[in-house]
Copies of this chain bind each other. A is one copy, B any other.
Amino acid sequence: MDPYLLNAPWVNTLRLVLEVAATVAFALSGVMAAARKRLDAVGVCVVAFVAAFGGGTLRDLLLDQRPFFWIRHTEFVWGILALCIGAMLFMRQRHFEPTERAMLLPDAIGLGLFAAVGVDIATAIGMPPIISVMMGVTTGVFGGVLRDVLCNEVPQAFSDHRPYALCAFAGGWADVALRQVQAPDWAPLVACVVLTAGLRGLAVWRNWELPAWRV
């Protein structure tokens, strides 16, 4: 890929904007999960942090990339902290029943955004396509998996028989394919986000289910 385009400022800006939006959506999923388990304030903050940054941090650990996003941008750590304190105060003020439904849209967009960022980083350091796609899926899904492991639950992404990681898998392949055909620089990111979030939206709207085990 043309190095000029990779270094163009708007590409980096776009990546940053994508990561902010996705981070907030995922952190809130951590707050909800912690609240359902009645964790204390420390648990809420840690689980929110892990839900937001766990996928990307695991990806960077596996790919040996440093420094992590949240070490380069410590304002995100402060942001998550503020978000958690705000959410806890708000939940104390009024009885707030966190509904799964309200989280579906930001979560679907976040999944697509994170997958695109993960594919992008893995491709940039020369990973083969299947590994880039796996890193995209890992970025999108493992924040939630680590969140559920810390909450002592079977990870929702592995057990609810709804397409979730599979949407990111499809989006990741679209991203990788567009890179192969020398599409313009913005195309792979946009395709990955739109396809992943679109498929996830369809899956929820049409009630798609993964095949179940025979009992």
Binding site for B on A (CB under 8 A): 34-35, 37-43, 46-47, 57, 61-62, 64, 66, 68, 71, 74, 77-78, 88, 91-92, 95, 127-128, 130-131, 134, 145, 149-155, 157-162, 164-166, 210-214
Contacts and interface: CB of A to CB of B under 8 A. Distances in A.
Contact of A127 (B37, B71, B130): B71
In the assembly, how many copies of this chain are there? 3
Given A64-B66, A92-B214, A211-B92, A154 B74 contact: no
Contact of A42 (B34, B152, B165): B165
A35 B106 CA distance: 31
A8 to B, nearest CB: 28
A154 B152 contact: yes
Per CB-CB distance, the 10 closest pairs between chain A and chain B, nearest first, are A43-B158, A40-B161, A40-B210, A152-B154, A42-B165, A39-B158, A41-B210, A74-B130, A74-B128, A39-B159
Given A40-B161, A71-B131, A77-B130, 4 more contacts: A40-B159, A42-B166, A61-B62, A78-B130
A169 B109 CA distance: 33
Contacts of A157: 42-43
A95 B164 CA distance: 27
Contacts of A151: 154
Given A68-B62, A130-B74, A131-B77, A158 B210 contact: no
A211 B145 CA distance: 27
26 contacts: A37-B159, A38-B159, A38-B212, A39-B158, A39-B159, A40-B160, A40-B161, A40-B210, A41-B210, A42-B210, A43-B157, A43-B159, A47-B158, A61-B61, A62-B68, A71-B131, A74-B131, A77-B131, A92-B211, A92-B214, A95-B214, A149-B152, A150-B158, A152-B152, A152-B153, A152-B154
B130 A213 contact: no
Contacts of A150: 145, 149, 155, 158
A43 B154 CA distance: 10
